Structure 1
């Protein structure tokens, strides 16, 4: 409970300060379309994110589309993920280690970064931890309802983030070990009495071999296979357009992963060192969390050397498992503290045996939080990466909103890239947006994230006296940055009245 509340407080702090960046603008564009149009769009682009867009369609209908409203589901998901991380740590290692893991997860910059983003990564993180927790419970105390819960969590995980299903490789390792040698071999046996908060977990019968567990696991994967396979096939056909900006994975990318994933080089290195120490202390209990970090990373990296898949944020769902290992470093492996016996025969555990590692763990959490403070502040200013290259959509929209006149039009360049200047202006200006003079089929009509412009820009511009030109990047001469026939028509018919450079974007007023 405490890790979840702390995460909620941290992620809600400044949640609406940073303006929506290009990925969030795509979410806004998709989520605010009628459902039939949204479904048509996913057949063209971004099918893998379609279930999240559908969820956000319902959410925005109730909560609106302000930055805070768009991001609130992610903040709530990260809070629940922190609480579940603490619970998973308590089950695998002990309550103290689980608490520290959840608290550490709460203060990481990456938790705030994706807890303040209108994208599916926070929900995927929640579902990854939930599915793993349900798997552990099903292995320790088999039952059809536990397996059903696991099946539902895995199916939802695949629907919200296809690559997060690489987590199943870690699950497979644990299931095979349990099926062959029993829960103890996989490190999912009940924790010791002093660290367990559920007496049922101390049932020694749970350590028996369960050869049928592998069959139960395969059956539990069937809903995910049936639901996710059609989605994956459609998304595979869109990969060329969807991920055309992604470079092949290289070995230096692995070295940079901890810092990039934590959203802070110092914090990433710190957590990595703690996780390595925690894994050494836990022994076989480290198997599941370590596999849940390493196997998805290695699988996505290996695939990324062949196809464009290596994107750091796609691996955010592994962070709670790294925190679980890191939380065990100061907490240590669960152990039974010395006790004294009262005259009544009851046992009293020496409090200092619990307080010392807990105090050390809390100090580690505080240190991690302090190391991440500069990045916490930076990510609340802009969500762009690198943060030194923000795009000020709101500033550009403010210029247009303050200076426009009736009959004004607007033109964008480029129109087919990933910075979405048109979506940025539409989001911030709303009904005050000037007429898009060159568009013949907008994003909704074209079932895409990009509009289609007319083939003869000079003809479409006929009779237009004032044009607001929005160009990505800082441009001293915005007209010169417009390529092709569109640029020729603008340069032939208009002169630049004034230029307003803003970070990452430039606005110019053109007059006939």
Structure 2
């Protein structure tokens, strides 16, 4: 008879028959029972068990540090930089009107940058450390539930995916949410092994971290509920109390964010086509996404231990799809916290193969991912070459230049202003003649502009029009009254297109004056 722990949804593991006398009866959830090599008397097993979490941690740490500061901050990271630099009073005033969902992360980064400065290294280091910790916990969880071989394979698969490096390099809360999701799941398994208050308390803390990091991640609790009901029904009440306590800190964030739905209104509606693109979006590469999904489908099961990974991988995805029918929230990065579960399912499928074959798959995945890794570590690897924009203004700018920014559609005005403020020294920065109130002041996330455009702009000889996106006509859609005013008085002299931006140098048109006749 095949043990439940050796089954997947499609193919049971094939192994030599064993007599009942050879296999001692034990609880599959007993601590260490799923991993014979971890027996205290087996030194090699203990070493492999340690390697299963140490190797992924180190690999993810090395990949996370590799060119960590090369890519310029893009729009969302510039928002983090800006919010981390304001006073506590201004931060609170802004999140009451905008970005409440990320308010706890802004508060964290306010403390971090206050202590260590606001360099790219400091801004991204919390995410890098969180992702490295997540990789190690993936290895530890796979070891606890299956074997060191499964844990090692899962941790390495997770570490080599392009998206884990991408968000380890991102000054946003997604890596922290991934870490919290893995930690909460590991603590759940530990708690239902031997339920008790001493084990439910840290689980509640991990749930709180998840909700404060990214409240969409609380959809994971639906998957955890399924695990508890299927595997340890007698632990239901303990889990429920811990989950409710863990959710409480996030409730004020959810309350504020529910009235700020306009900031996610740009997200396209969830559709089956967009669901089909999810594997590539989660992993950072469509080919790798297909490979991981295929292995995950082979490894998924509602039997232990794979039920933990299966519920974690698929229940939140279904939950977000249903929620997105009402509120537009379907973005792959919002579901990044399920990626470790797919890595664990893939490793479960590979667990039938010899360890070298499993590691060979990891090597193949790393090779396939290499171009994506190189691209995301380039100076424009985060989709916007903000640093190149600053260098352009330094090189081409002149004293007396003025800057005009696009409207705030899609963050156009705010992102462009922040990019210039971050990467152009004050001595080379063109004058922001239209800014009447700076961004992140007075409770406003974006800058407020002068209503009397012609008066505030004056008649400078040269104007830089700086916008996000790519425009062959840099004035198209600039908005009234800026567009008609500039078209009537200025000509486009040069157009530059650093990745993610359109930057046009406008020169004032010569006005012909009538000369009096010579007598």
Structure 1 residues 97-112: aligned runs within 5 Å: 97-112=150-165
After the TM superposition, which of the residue ranges 169-178 and 318-327 deviates more from structure 2? 169-178
Equivalent residue number for residue 317 of structure 1: 337
Equivalent residue number for residue 187 of structure 2: 134
**C-alpha contact 1:409 1:467 (8 A) present in aligned 2:** yes
Q: In the TM superposition, what whole-angstrom CA distance separates every residue of 1:70-128 from its partner, at most 9, and x where no partner exists?
A: 21211111100011111111111122211111111111111111111111110000000
Q: In the TM superposition, what whole-angstrom CA distance separates every residue of 1:14-34 from its partner, at most 9, and x where no partner exists?
A: 222221111111111111111
State which of 253, 257, 266 in structure 2 corresponds to 1:231.
253
Equivalent residue number for residue 244 of structure 2: 222
Change (3 A) 1:382 1:243: farther
Change (3 A) 1:127 1:481: same
Distance 1:65 1:43 in 2: 24
CA shift, 1:326, in A, is 1.0
**C-alpha contact 2:231 2:304 (8 A) present in aligned 1:** no
**C-alpha contact 1:29 1:449 (8 A) present in aligned 2:** no
Equivalent residue number for residue 187 of structure 1: none
Distance 2:221 2:476 in 1: 51
Structure 1 residues 58-457: aligned runs within 5 Å: 58-180=111-233, 211=234, 213-239=235-261, 241-279=262-300, 283-332=303-352, 357-381=354-378, 390-419=383-412, 420-432=415-427, 433-457=429-453
TM-score by length of 1: 0.84
CA shift, 1:63, in A, is 3.1
**C-alpha contact 1:414 1:472 (8 A) present in aligned 2:** no
Equivalent residue number for residue 69 of structure 2: 16
After the TM superposition, which of the residue ranges 442-451 and 23-32 deviates more from structure 2? 442-451
Distance 1:32 1:283 in 2: 49
Distance 1:176 1:243 in 2: 34
**Secondary structure of 1:431's partner?**
coil
Q: In the TM superposition, what whole-angstrom CA distance separates every residue of 1:459-488 from its partner, at most 9, and x where no partner exists?
A: 111254443221334444434553311223
CA shift, 1:53, in A, is 0.9
**Secondary structure of 1:435's partner?**
coil
Distance 1:325 1:57 in 2: 37
Q: In the TM superposition, what whole-angstrom CA distance separates every residue of 1:103-160 from its partner, at most 9, and x where no partner exists?
A: 1111111111111111111000000000111111111022322111001110110011
TM-score by length of 2: 0.83
Change (3 A) 1:123 1:18: same
Equivalent residue number for residue 202 of structure 1: none
Q: In the TM superposition, what whole-angstrom CA distance separates every residue of 1:140-195 from its partner, at most 9, and x where no partner exists?
A: 02232211100111011001101100000111112223443xxxxxxxxxxxxxxx
**C-alpha contact 2:309 2:344 (8 A) present in aligned 1:** yes
**C-alpha contact 1:475 1:481 (8 A) present in aligned 2:** no
* Unpaired stretches in structure 2, ≥5 consecutive residues: 1-53, 509-519
Distance 2:452 2:92 in 1: 31
Distance 1:477 1:251 in 2: 35
Distance 1:503 1:379 in 2: 13
**C-alpha contact 1:81 1:129 (8 A) present in aligned 2:** yes
Distance 1:479 1:7 in 2: 44
Matched, 1:468 2:444: no
Distance 1:275 1:417 in 2: 36
**C-alpha contact 1:29 1:423 (8 A) present in aligned 2:** yes
Higher helix residue share:
1
**Secondary structure of 1:440's partner?**
strand
Change (3 A) 1:246 1:466: same
Distance 1:233 1:295 in 2: 24
- Count matched residues: 452
Distance 2:360 2:376 in 1: 24
CA shift, 1:393, in A, is 2.5
